[in-house]
Structures are given as structure tokens and as C-alpha cells.
Structure 1
Amino acid sequence: MIGLPANWGLELSVLNFRCGRYAAGAACAVVSILAVNGAWAQEPPAVDAAQRSAQIQEEFQALSGAAEKSRFLLSTDDGKGITFADILRDPDNIVLNFRWAKAQMAQGNIRGASSTLERILILDPDLAPVRLYYAIVLYRLDSLDIAKAQFEKLRALPISPDVAAQIDQYLDAINKRRQRVKQTLSVSFGVHYDTNRNSAPSDNERMVLGSLQTITNTEDRHQSDFGYMGAAHYDITYDLGYQAGHDVFAGVTGYYDDQVRLDNLDVGTASFEIGGHWRSPYLTITPTLIQTAAELDNEKFLTSRGVRVRADWKFRPDTTLWGQTSYFDERYGATPDSSALPLRSGQRYQGKTGATYTWDNQNRTTFGLTLARKEAARSYYTYRSVGAELSHTLLLAGGKYVMGSFSYGVDQYQQPDALVTGNTPMTRKDYPLRARLSYGSNVGNLLEASWFGSDIGQDIYQFIAPVSWSITEEYQATSSNIANYDYDNWRTQLLLSRRWAF
């Protein structure tokens, strides 16, 4: 998925209740933050990984002026329509081989592209652009020793300062990736506007003891509001030294959402996780232990402890099948606004499965199914749910991206709540829907280095250029057979994020 990182453990979707629905809106803000900021993902981050794949073409262009023959190679198409049968008919055709390598890259077959580029260099070892492209592919394949040797060969050639700087960046990245201990710090700040921040019923009616009543209290009707949010995540990973790349990791996350007017909906969370990655050529298994504490209006109301196990199987070069199961023990505490919250305490079981398909270097689609059961201290808070989500990421030139997702599900509760439905046997059934579209890039695309002069100005530019920005529009709604839980909300969000690796 291109969206919430698997090892963050912010399991706040459990806040699907009356007071909890208010907090759930803020939990969605956490999800939005993590989805648009690809740099916060693990293994490497999905957007970052996809961006690196797209940037290979841009980095290859940097050497296009090295020789006339290189310029001719770069003028070829993207390889569409080329097959291996074409290569067999003319195996020594450099241009044909290069087009085939580009086709393999577009299909996600990185290893195949590596072999094809190696064959081109055997035919003509003096093609510096191909050697750079080959070195970048090796870097992506984690063949760091061979990639370093290729970069060093290129570094010794008479190349432009810009290309030399790119190669130095890759050599520095290789040295960092060889470190046994890796650390990352990510920080985000943003602002959002909600049309129905308090999740008030759509028709301004609620059911009490089986009778519909009009909501007359202004504070309980639709309330729009602005909010300011901040989040930080620190992650440390230790490589166990195996060739397969097994590692262990730990991370801590903090988040706070401050409402301008509706202070009773201010939400803060703190989460800690520890786990590891077991890797084989086609399968990665990630077990994680997670603890999360959340507060509403500066009152602690939720402590969640649990475990999650995820498996990713590289079914084909362009297709990854994945599955995830989790268990959480959720304990709610009473707050001044709701003394009944402890009745929602209990266990939550969840299973997810799906597939991610990489169409080419710029397009990736993920489809997933979710089954969950929440057991609570009272049966009218116990429910089963099933849902599906479809998401897509489109990468554009210059590091820009568009991300969209759509999800729909059904939550079926176990028993009626007599305080709501009275003597009627009506059991709550919700149909949650969520649609989101984000567009983002980095600040460097909006600025020119020359605007900042030299020395201190350039230091400022180097600091702010990697900052990513995104704007998100989101629609969230729940259709319910009980008016109390039937609502919708539009959210507009602007986010700035910065990530450091050391």
C-alpha cells in the first residue's frame, strides 16, 4: 500500500463510537499524515522507492551529452513492444538491447534489466551513460559492492561536476547502507479544515429510547473547525549481519492535533514499537509488538497493546502478495465527557490480505480486503467488520506525485443498545466510506538555488529543498440504519514534512 506504514501501530480505527467518533476524525489525520509522507515508510518507503525508480531515467539523462552515440541511445523509445524474441534475433544490437532493458525496468523486472545492461557493457564498455544506469540498478538490487565499483569507475572519468556530485551522493548512500545501525527522524506539521469536525448526524436527528428527536443543542449539530497538527517519528534499525538482510528495529511516534475552537476534540497519541524483518529472496516476514496511548482533551482515554505479523511475497517481478494479522487489547478510561468509555474495553482481532501491482516505474496499484472483530465489555459495542480498499500512486516528473484511495466496508454490531433503540430489536449496522486524493512534491521544485546567494543562503536552501509538501482532499461518511451514526465530513489538509537519515 501506498499509504500507512505497517510498523507504526497507530491502531486508532477502534475509535468508532459516539465520543470516539470525534477522536476517530483525528485518528484519520494521523493516517493522512503518514500516507502523503512516503519517506516515513519502512523497507524502504513506498513512495521513496517508487520515486527512485522514476528518477533513474532523470539521472541517466545527466550523461546524455557524453558522446554522440550515447545521445542516440537516449533518443530511443521506452521499449514498449520489445520482446525477448527480438533480442534473440539480433543479440548484438546495442540499441535494441537498451530498449529491452528499459522495457524490463517498466515491468519492474530489475534483475532482468541488470543482466541486459551488463550485456550491453560487454559489447561496448565505453558507454558511460549505460554504466551509470547499470550502477544505479545494482544499487537498487542491494548489490552494493559491485555498484560501488561501477560508480568509482565512472568517478575516474572526465565527467561534469553535476554528474560527479550525483555519483558522490550514491557512494555516500552506499556507505550509509553498509552501517549496521541505521536511524531516521521524520517531522511533520500541517493544518486542516473539517466541515463536520464533531461527526454530528447528517439529518440533525438522533434516536433516544427508540424515538427520533431533533438535535436542538447547537454544540451537538454540525461544527466546522480548523486544526493544527504535528507529528514526529524516530526509528532505529540494527542489521543482524546475515547476507539475506535480516534486522531488528524499534521506533517511537508522537502526534498531536489541536483544534482552534473545539478544544474538547484535541487529540494526542504516543506509540512505541519493536520488531524485526526476516527476509528471503521472495518473502519478507515482519513481526511487531506495539503499544499506543491516546488522550482526548488532555485526558487519557485509551491504552492499546498488541502484536502484528505481516508477510510480503514477491509473487512476480511486478506483483507482491501480502497478508497481515493483528491482535490488540484495548483499555479505555472514563473522561469528563463520557464516563461509559470503559464499557468499550476489549480485544480487537484483524486480518488483512491483498496485492500490489507495479504497472511501470510511475504507477502502482494496491487492493486489500480486511476482516475484523471487536469484543467489548458490553455486547452492544461488540461488532464484526469487513472492508475493501483500492489505492493508486502516480509519480510525475521532478518528484511530484498523485495518490488516491477509496475504501468501503460494513460494521455489524452484535446486540441492540437499549438506550438508543429502546424495546425495538434494531441492531446497529454501519457502512463506512472514505475517498482521498493527494498531490505533493518537494519545496526544491518551487525554488531556485540561485535565489539564495552563497554561503549561508545556500545552507538554508539545502535545508528546506528536501522538505516535502502535500495537499489532500478527503471525504469520509458512514451510512447507518440508526440516525445517531449517520454522518459525513469533508477535510482539506496541507502538510509539510522533513526526513533525516543517519
Structure 2
Amino acid sequence: MFLYFVKFKLFLISIILLISTSAFSSEKNITYMQILQDPNNLDLNLKYAQQQGKVGNFKQTISTLERLNMLYPDNVEIKLYLLSVLVQVDSPEKANTIIEDMKLRRDLSAEDLETLQEIEEELRDREPSLWNFTADVGFGATFSNNVNSVSKTRLKYDSGSIAAFTSPKHDRTESASIGITATRPVGEESSLLLNFGHTTSNQYQEADDDFQSYGLTIGLDTTLGNQSLSPYIIMSKTDAQHDADSFSLMLGVGGFFTVGERHSFSYGYSYSDSKANQNSEDTTADETNAIGHGYTFGYDLIITPIISSSLSLGYSDSDAKVDAGNDYETYEFGIGLNFAFPWAYIAWSASTSFNDYKAADSSVDSTKLRSDHATTTDIMITKAIGDIFPIIDPNRSLFINLSYEKTFSEANIMNYDYLADSFALSFSKGLKLN
């Protein structure tokens, strides 16, 4: 009973604080870009913190309230609101720091001081919960009009001779996935992430995309000066129904930093080791075993409270066991626009990649060294089901995703000169497990 009494008092404090701001008369969602555009707006930030708390994004709620606490250090209500959230998510270290700071204040009422003492006693007896567990589930379907990248002429080179491209073009793929994520804080500025994921895929006509895949990710989010860094390890295994099993290991680090309130820069490096087992269905699978290195650089700009843009550059190098047709370098440039409308999130992007191969493939054409470039354009729309049917999804945690992708590939060998597009429909939902 004591714990519920403390939480109820803090709940009343937070409600009084929210009602006292006129901005809360509107149900319009506040985006993070709006916060960056007007970081000192107390009403706007408080509503954003409330909205993030409703959908379970307590990390963003706490971050917003901590920033407001620095901007308005004399505002007791903000401190108590932040304290109520910290108690809710079992963050005793930060909660005790705020309690000690508030106990030193001389303008604190007797009732508020009594509340702080009660919370302090309750936290002292509570066993802290270091781990948070969440689950993400999704399912969807992709419809492709050129699933096998059939050339524009429906012809191809086969060991130097021209042959018909007999592979089917139209197909659909159905997939489902589930992921379990565990996170815990490491010190004051870092957090550890463990994620296990499983995906199943079924192709309707052919079997190239019939597989089961398993993945394990270990990551660390931390800061170094003004840099946010995320080193990671990703291990995966794919069981193909009619092909060799494949394994991959990737090590890497990503980082970003902000410049002012509208600009941010990101960068990353990855090392990968990919292997495939030979079997009766594919006796040459291990020829594609490769070591890869990848480098990325990105720039993001907030244009308006609703619109943001991004630019990206990438370079990767793959060195395979058998060079012919497998060793290549890729140079990539991309641009994107994001629209955070109150009624939906829309993302548009376009990228162009240039692939330079290092050795001719005699199974295709031994007289030509393959070189090609591909331009891919896609648009994605994401909408919370709860915005349409509040009864079905009151917490707005079930999302519908619609996307369309079109690829133009041009090459000096007709096999890789093709057009392809696809449409995908999927649903995803996040669940908090503790």
C-alpha cells in the first residue's frame, strides 16, 4: 500500500503540472524535430514528454525532463515529474540524486519534503531492476515484378554465349519476424543492449527466399566528449531450404555528433566475415566466402519542424575466396527526405551505387570485367493503427508500413542490365515484457 500511495502522490503532481499548461488542450502529436526547433518551450517539451511516456518511450521522456530541469532549475514541479518517471522505470541512482538535491532546497513545502522522505525510504528497500525486456513482432508481404533481376532484353551471357533468360519475373514473398531485446544501464552515460531475432521467409513460386534466419546482436551505447558512440557485434545464421547454410560475423562502430540545433553528422565502420557451407544443392557455395570492410558518412539537417533531410556516402570492399565475379568495390551516394506529419510519417530516399569488379567471371563472359551502377528510389509510409482505430490500439504501438521501391540497373554486361520494382505491406508491434 505504501508504494501505491507514493506513486499516486507523484501521479497527481504530474497531472497538475500538465493541466496547468495551455498547450495540452491539443491532441496533436509533438515531433522530436519540433523539440529541436524550440528546445526552451516549456509547454511544448512537457507535452512531448507526456506523449513519449504514454507509448512507453521512457528514455525519451527522461531525457526531455532532464533537459528542462537544467533550463528551469528552480521549478519544483519539473523535478517531481521527473522523479515520478524515474520511480516508475526503477532508476534508483538518478532518483536518489534528485532527492538529495531537493532536500537541500529551503523553499520546499513540508508536504513535498515528506513525499521525498517516503520515496527515499521506499527506494532504499527496493531491489533495483537493472534489465528491461522488450519484444518486437512483425509480419508482411513483398510483391516483386522482377524478383530474379531478369535483363531488359530477356537475354544473358552464359559462358560467353548468348542465351535466353528463363527465370520468372513476378513473385511474392511472405515473412514474419520476432525479436527479444534486453537493455541495462552501464554507469551514468552508457547502456548495454542484447537482441535475439528470428525471421522466416517463404517465396511463392521459387525457393530462393525460403529460409529461416537467426541473429544475435550485442551493442553498447556510450558517449565520449560530444560524440555518441555505438560499438556492436552481430552474429547471424541463415538456413536456406534449397541452398547452403550461411553464417556471418560483423564487428563495427557507429557514431554521431550534433552541431547547433539543426545539424548532425554520423560515421561508421564495419568488418564482416561471411561464410557458406557446401551441400548437395550447391557445391560451389563457399566460393563466395568473403571478408568485407565498409565505411559510411552521413549528414542530417532539420529544415522545418516537419521536414528533415539526409545525405550519405559509403564505400565497401569485398574480398572473396574465388575472385572471379565475387570480388568488388562499391561506392554509394544517397539522399533522403523525411516528413513527420501529425497523421503519418513519410520517408523518401534515392541512392546510386557504383560496383567495380576485380576479376572477370568466365561463367558469364571471360572477355569483360563487370562494371555496373544501380539507382534505387523508395518511399515508405508509416501509420499507427491507434490513430485510425483507438479501440484496437489504444497505446499506438501497432504500426502499418507501406513501401514502394524501384531499381534501375545499367551494366556493361546485359545480364545485369534490368529494371525492377516491388511493393511491400507489413505490420509491426512493440511490447514491453517487464
Aligned to 1:288, the other structure's residue is in SS state strand
Which sections of structure 1, spanning at least 5 residues, go unmatched? 1-55, 66-73, 75-101, 118-128, 157-166, 450-459
Alignment partner of 1:487 out of 402, 410, 418: 418
Contact in 2 for aligned 1:107/1:317 (Cα 8 Å): no
1:370 deviates by 0.6
Mapped partners of 1:174, 1:146: distance in 2: 17
User: Cα offset for 1:229?
Assistant: 1.0
**CA–CA distance in structure 2, aligned partners of residues 304 and 64 of structure 1:** 49
5 Å matches for 1:249-288?
A: 249-280=193-224, 282-288=226-232
CA contact (8 A) 2:35 2:45 kept: no
Q: What does residue 98 of structure 2 align with?
A: none
Per the alignment, residue 373 of structure 1 pairs with 317
Aligned-pair distance for 1:232? 1.5
Aligned pair in 2 of structure 1 residues 448, 308: CA closer, same or farther (>3 Å)?
closer
Q: Check whether the contact 1:107–1:318 (CA below 8 A) recurs between aligned residues.
A: no
3-state SS in 1 of match to 2:386:
helix
TM-score under structure 2 length normalisation: 0.74
Q: 1:208 to 1:60 in 2, by over 3 A?
A: farther
- State the Cα distance separating 1:186 from its structure 2 match: 0.8
* Equivalent-residue separation in structure 1 for 2:297 and 2:156 (angstroms): 36
SS in 2 for 1:484: helix
When residues 476 and 131 of structure 1 are mapped into structure 2, their CA distance, relative to the original with a 3 A threshold, is closer
Counterpart CA distance in 2 for 1:265 and 1:64 is 47
Could you tell me which of 388, 400, 406 is aligned with 2:333? 388
Indicate whether 1:62 and 2:27 are aligned. no
Q: Residue in 1 aligned with 2:66?
A: 143
Q: Write the letter of the residue equivalent to 1:197.
A: V
Query: 1:437: which partner in 2?
Result: 379
Superposition RMSD on alpha carbons, in Å?
Answer: 3.6
Shift of 1:193: 0.8
Deviates more, 1:475-484 or 1:186-195: 475-484
Task: Name 2:177's counterpart in structure 1.
Answer: 231
Identity %: 15
Q: Do structure 1's residue 315 and structure 2's residue 259 form an aligned pair?
A: yes
SS in 2 for 1:334: coil
Against the structure 1 CA distance between its residues 296 and 285, is the aligned structure 2 distance closer, same or farther, given a 3 Å change threshold? same
Query: Contact 1:311/1:322 (CA < 8 Å) preserved in 2?
Result: yes
Task: Give the TM-score normalised by the residue count of structure 1.
Answer: 0.65
Q: 1:176 aligns with which of 89, 103, 107?
A: 89
Relative to structure 1, is the Cα distance of residues 263 and 62 closer, same or farther in structure 2, using a 3 angstrom cutoff?
Answer: same
State the alpha-carbon separation in 2 of the partners of residues 355 and 490 from structure 1: 28
Partner in structure 2 of residue 339 of structure 1: 283
Aligned pairs for 1:174-213 within 5 A: 175-176=88-89, 178=91, 180-213=130-163
Larger mean Cα displacement after TM superposition, 259-268 or 326-335: 259-268
Query: Which letter does structure 1 place at the counterpart of 2:409?
Result: T
Aligned residue type for 1:194: S
Which amino acid in the other structure matches residue 176 of structure 1? V
Aligned length: 364
Q: Secondary structure of the equivalent of 1:379?
A: coil
Letter in 2 for 1:224: H
**For residue 125 of structure 2, what is the aligned residue in structure 1?**
none
Inter-CA distance 483–150: structure 2 relative to 1 (3 Å threshold): farther
Q: Which residue of structure 1 aligns with residue 107 of structure 2?
A: none
1:369 is matched by which residue type in structure 2? Answer: L
CA distance in 2, matches of 1:174, 1:202: 62
Alpha carbons of 1:171 and 1:394: their partners in 2 closer, same or farther (altered >3 Å)?
farther
User: Displacement, 1:403?
Assistant: 0.9
Per-residue CA deviations over 1:343-379 (Å, capped at 9, x if unaligned) read: 1112011100111112233222121111110001122
Change (3 A) 1:130 1:289: closer
Query: Partner of 1:418: helix, strand, or coil?
Result: coil
Q: More helix by proportion, 1 or 2? A: 1
Aligned-pair distance for 1:130? 7.3
Contact 1:131 1:150 in 2 (8 A): no
- 1:496 maps to 2:427: yes
Q: For residues 263 and 150 of structure 1, what CA distance do their matches in structure 2 show?
A: 64
Shift in Å at residue 466 of structure 1? Answer: 2.7
- The offset of 1:299, in angstroms, is 4.2
Inter-CA distance 171–471: structure 2 relative to 1 (3 Å threshold): farther
| Change over 3 Å in CA distance of 1:254–1:382 after alignment to 2 | same
**Contact 2:385–2:393 (8 Å) recurs in 1:** no
Unaligned runs of 5+ in 2: 1-17, 51-59, 92-128
Higher strand proportion (structure 1 or 2)? 2
Deviations 1:365-411 (CA, angstroms, capped at 9, x unpaired): 1211111100011222111110011122101114x111111110111
Gap change, CA 1:473 and 1:105, over 3 Å in 2: closer
Verify: 1:297 aligned to 2:228, yes or no. no
Amino acid at match of 2:183: T
CA deviations 1:298-329 (Å, max 9, x no partner) are 54432111201111112222111111001011
Measured in 2, the distance between the counterparts of 1:482 and 1:131 equals: 56
Instruction: Determine the C-alpha separation between the residues in 1 that align with 2:215 and 2:248.
Output: 9
